[in-house]
């Protein structure tokens, strides 16, 4: 095996690399030094030099003077162009398995590029979520990267990424593995109606979609479920931490609840007055329900803008969705036509119901037989943001982030702005799939809350290209660089080879 370079010193590992056409080293490249097992190094910095530095010149000159110049290898002409790379040991692979590295490779050890077999310890877990293949710089290995679905989901997953770096693509690739797993139920709130793929390739193309995916949309295609939620399914506590009601408004809601029971929202929207409720409070509540739920009065009738929240129909929607999740299915809800708050509310009703149910199962010792539940939430600071939690108190999502693990419920939270989420919640998100991010402050937050030391990966994260990611997780021994496949190409290759990846990248 041809050596790529040689350790020449440094606090990290300074490597001298001969620059030859076709053998370029780049930041992020994975290298291996054989030393008491294999030490896997990752290139963090490159310093290109076109000449041998003075020290070596002097040494070489000195040796020449002594008459030994002919034996000094680094005087060869092709060695004039070389690169010094700073690399960091990221893993030490011993016979017993991989451990965190506690030593640097010895001086003058040769270093080679990583090859497939070097990472064979990255086992395929029992319930694998496929993320992509290991990446060395921008080169892609055939070694696949998986997370164990149940552990990763119940310990929460965070996907920090700025727009256009491939987060929707990643979520689709992840869900593809999850669709078939009946030990995992996934709730996907889809504000852009992009996951099912009603118009292009999406999860609807999965061979098991018919039995394992339930797609809800206000205008569902044939075979889909129409998203109608009966107003009677909504309880005041569903609004907790999501909509800010004033003291008098809360009292008015209590009064309406006493008077109309389950039909409290319809009662408020339809009534001209309610005992003990001030006119102006009633008016503001009506306006809020119109803004959030799209329900209003016209010609003496309660109308529904968008048709999702209605007075009649949709009585069993929430119950059905919970049932699907408990069957380990993937439920995709097209919330593209709901106001932001209404989308969160729909998720909150479902998440709250499943959370209470799973609490009961745990108390009855039946939880182990139930599938794990994952909830995918986009723009997570809407519900997990510091400001939201401080001003409006905890909501069901922040409760799940803190306590969900006990009840086998986890979040897959997607955000452009990690800095808006409290550190305590970030610390609970034990897997982070970090995509490219050009905002320095956001990178600092991501690095501060990662499961591995990424302190010198700042520039690497800034320069991650579309579909390139770093997986930092308590379930991986090191922060694994991965290339997520393009979904369309991925499902093509899945169709060709039903068994599993590896994929071919171009």
Between 311 and 379, CB nearer to ligand ATP: 379
Q: Please give the C-alpha separations between residue 113 and each of 14, 27, 239, in angstroms, as whole numbers.
A: 15, 13, 55
**Helix (H) or strand (E) run with residue 382 in it:** helix 381-384
Q: How far is it, in rounded angstroms, from Cα 236 to Cα 262?
A: 10
241 and 389 in contact (C-beta within 8 Å)? yes
What is the bridge-based pairing of β-strands 301-304 and 468-473? Answer: unpaired
Stretch that binds ligand ATP, among 243-251, 265-273, 483-491, 492-500 (CB under 6 A): 483-491
Contact by Cβ (8 Å): 401, 425: yes
What number of residues does the chain have? 506
Both tokens of 349, joined, read 């009703």
Residue 410's Cβ-count burial label (10 Å; 0-12, 13-18, 19+) is: buried
Q: Nearer Cβ to ligand ATP, position 165 or 370?
A: 165
Nearer to ligand ATP, 110 or 416 (CB): 416
Q: How far is CA 233 from the centre of its chain?
A: 30
Dihedral sign, Cα of residue 305, residue 309, residue 312, residue 316: positive
Nearest-approach distance from CB 481 to ligand ATP, in angstroms:
13
**Cβ of residue 469: shortest distance to ligand ATP, in angstroms?**
9
Nearer to ligand ATP, 161 or 447 (CB): 161
- Does 467 participate in binding ligand ATP (rule CB under 6 A)? yes
Dig out the tokens for 141 from the structure.
């290995």
Q: Which is nearer to ligand ATP, 52 or 486 (CB)?
A: 486
Stretch that binds ligand ATP, among 298-306, 345-353, 395-403, 481-489 (CB under 6 A): 481-489
Phi, psi angle pair for 405, to nearest 5°: -55, -40
- Can you tell me which of 446, 447, 484, 491 binds ligand ATP, judged by CB under 6 A? 484
Indicate the Cα dihedral angle 196, 201, 204, 205, nearest 10°. -160
> Taking CB positions, which residue lies at the least distance from ligand ATP?
467
Query: For residue 177, what are the contacts with CB-CB under 8 A and spacing of at least 6?
Result: 128, 129, 130, 146, 149
Q: What is the nearest approach in angstroms of ligand ATP to the Cβ of residue 188? A: 14
Going from the C-alpha of 210 to that of each of 183, 372, 465, 488, the distances in angstroms are 17, 21, 34, 19
DSSP 296: E
The nearer residue to ligand ATP, 31 or 435, going by C-beta atoms, is 435
Binding to ligand ATP by residue 436, rule CB under 6 A? no
CB of 217 to ligand ATP, least distance (A): 19
Stretch that binds ligand ATP, among 231-239, 336-344, 382-390, 484-492 (CB under 6 A): 484-492
Q: Please give the Cα distance from 225 to 222 (Å, whole number).
A: 8
492 binding ligand ATP? (CB under 6 A)? no
Residue 173's alpha-carbon distances to 139, 202, 486, in angstroms, are 20, 9, 8
Query: Which CB sits closer to ligand ATP, 84 or 174?
Result: 174
Residue from the set 35, 125, 466, 493 that interacts with ligand ATP by CB under 6 A: 466
- C-beta of 194: minimal distance to ligand ATP in Å? 7
Per CB under 6 A, 14 contacts ligand ATP: no
Q: Say if strands 468-473 and 128-136 run parallel, antiparallel, or are unpaired.
A: unpaired
What is the smallest separation between the CB atom of 172 and ligand ATP, expressed in angstroms? Answer: 8
Read off the DSSP letter of residue 127: S
The residue among 138 and 291 lying less far from ligand ATP, judged by its C-beta, is 138
- Residue 142 or residue 182: which is nearer to ligand ATP going by CB? 142
Site string for ligand ATP, 140-179 (x = CB under 6 A): ---------------------x-xxxxxxx----------
Mapped to the 3 state alphabet, what secondary structure does 25-74 carry?
CCCCCEEEEECCCEEEEEEEEEEEECCCCHHHHHHHHHHHHCCCHHHCHH
Nearer to ligand ATP, 195 or 245 (CB): 195
Give, as ranges, the residues between 261 and 290 that touch ligand ATP (CB under 6 A): none
Q: Residue 470 Cβ, how far from ligand ATP at the closest point, in Å?
A: 14
Choice between 164 and 207, CB closer to ligand ATP: 164
CB of 170 to ligand ATP, least distance (A): 7
61's CB contacts (< 8 A; 6+ apart) are: none
Q: Please tell me whether residue 381 binds ligand ATP under the rule CB under 6 A.
A: no
Site size toward ligand ATP (CB under 6 A) is: 13
CA dihedral for 289, 290, 295, 300, sign (positive or negative) = positive
Q: Determine if 224 is a binding residue for ligand ATP (CB under 6 A).
A: no
The smaller minimum CB distance to ligand ATP, of residues 26 and 201, is found at 201
Backbone Cα Rg of the chain:
28
Q: Which residues pair with 7 in a beta bridge?
A: 15
Nearer of residues 354 and 484 to ligand ATP, judged by Cβ: 484
- How many beta carbons lie within 10 A of that of residue 349, not counting itself? 22
- Does 503 engage in binding with ligand ATP (CB under 6 A)? no
Q: How far is the CB of 161 from ligand ATP (least distance, A)?
A: 5
- By CB under 6 A, tell whether 470 contacts ligand ATP: no
Which residues bind to ligand ATP, rule: CB under 6 A? 161, 163-169, 466-467, 484-486
């Amino acid at each position: 095996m041809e050596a790529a370079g040689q350790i020449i010193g440094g606090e990290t590992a300074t490597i001298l690399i001969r620059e030859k056409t076709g053998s370029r080293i780049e930041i992020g490249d994975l290298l291996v030094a054989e030393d008491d097992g294999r030490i896997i190094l990752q290139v963090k910095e490159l310093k290109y030099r076109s000449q041998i530095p003075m020290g070596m010149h002097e040494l070489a000159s000195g040796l020449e003077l002594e008459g030994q110049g002919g034996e000094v290898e680094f005087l060869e002409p092709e060695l004039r162009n070389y690169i010094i790379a700073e690399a960091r040991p990221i893993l030490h692979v011993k016979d017993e398995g991989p451990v965190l590295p506690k030593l640097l490779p010895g001086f003058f050890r040769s270093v080679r590029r990583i090859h497939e077999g070097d990472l064979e310890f990255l086992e395929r877990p029992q319930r694998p979520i496929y993320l992509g293949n290991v990446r060395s710089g921008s080169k892609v290995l055939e070694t696949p990267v998986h997370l164990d679905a149940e552990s990763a989901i119940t310990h929460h997953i965070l996907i920090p990424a700025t727009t256009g770096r491939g987060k929707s693509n990643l979520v689709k690739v992840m869900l593809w593995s999850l669709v078939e797993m009946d030990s995992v139920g996934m709730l996907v709130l889809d504000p852009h109606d992009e996951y099912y793929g009603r118009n292009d390739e999406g999860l609807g193309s999965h061979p098991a979609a018919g039995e394992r995916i339930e797609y809800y949309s206000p205008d569902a295609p044939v075979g889909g479920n129409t998203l109608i939620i009966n107003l009677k399914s909504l309880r005041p506590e569903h609004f907790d931490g999501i909509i800010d009601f004033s003291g008098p408004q809360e009292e008015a809601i209590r009064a309406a609840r006493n008077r109309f029971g389950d039909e409290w929202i319809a009662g408020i929207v339809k009534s001209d007055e309610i005992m003990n409720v001030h006119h102006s409070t009633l008016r503001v509540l009506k306006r809020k329900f119109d803004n959030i739920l799209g329900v209003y009065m016209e010609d003496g009738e309660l109308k529904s803008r968008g048709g999702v929240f209605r007075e009649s129909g949709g009585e069993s929607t929430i119950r059905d969705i919970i049932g699907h999740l408990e069957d380990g299915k993937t439920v995709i809800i097209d919330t593209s036509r709901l106001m932001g708050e209404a989308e969160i509310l729909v998720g909150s009703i479902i998440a709250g119901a499943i959370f209470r149910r799973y609490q009961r199962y745990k108390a009855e010792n039946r939880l182990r037989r139930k599938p794990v539940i994952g909830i995918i939430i986009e723009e997570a600071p809407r519900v997990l943001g510091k400001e939201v939690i401080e001003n409006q108190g905890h909501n069901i999502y922040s409760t799940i982030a803190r306590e969900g693990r006990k009840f086998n419920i986890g979040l897959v939270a997607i955000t452009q702005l990690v800095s808006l989420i409290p550190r305590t919640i970030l610390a609970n998100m034990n897997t982070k799939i970090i995509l490219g991010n050009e905002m320095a402050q956001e990178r600092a937050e991501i690095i501060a809350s990662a499961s591995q030391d990424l302190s010198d990966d700042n520039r690497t994260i800034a320069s991650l290209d579309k579909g390139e990611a770093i997986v930092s997780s308590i379930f991986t021994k090191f922060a694994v660089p991965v290339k997520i496949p393009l979904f369309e190409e991925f499902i093509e290759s899945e169709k060709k080879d039903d068994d599993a990846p590896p994929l071919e990248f171009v």
